Amino acid sequence: MIQLNSGNVLLKPSHRKQLMSSLRRAAKMGDRLGKFVLNLTLHRSGKAIEVTASVNDAYGSFDLRSRSSDWRTAIRNLIRMLATRLHEQLILRAVTV
């Protein structure tokens, strides 16, 4: 499950669709792990946008943070970090099974 809290960042519906489509790979990996919950929070302070992600799944929980002047760049960096961490958890799951 993915929960989005856009905070004080105004996102158009088309931006929300872009964000959710870019999270598709991470959501699939999370579903394979089981009990996947992703909380995304966007916050604007000055000209910078900070994106934080809190991830809980069957194999642990972790937090990620990305900051940039553009929301797309911040999301892109966070999704790369998220996919890497979920992939590591999938590998650890395969080793322990």
Judge whether residue 93 has pLDDT over 90. no
Q: Which domain holds residue 39?
A: 2-96
Radius of gyration of the chain (CA): 14
The whole-model pTM stands at 0.89
Name the DSSP class of 69: S
Domain CATH code at residue 38: 3.30.160.100
Count of domains in the chain?
Answer: 1
pLDDT tens digits for 34-82?
A: 899 999 999 999 999 999 999 999 988 999 999 999 999 999 999 999 9
| 43 and 74 Cβ atoms separated by less than 8 Å | no
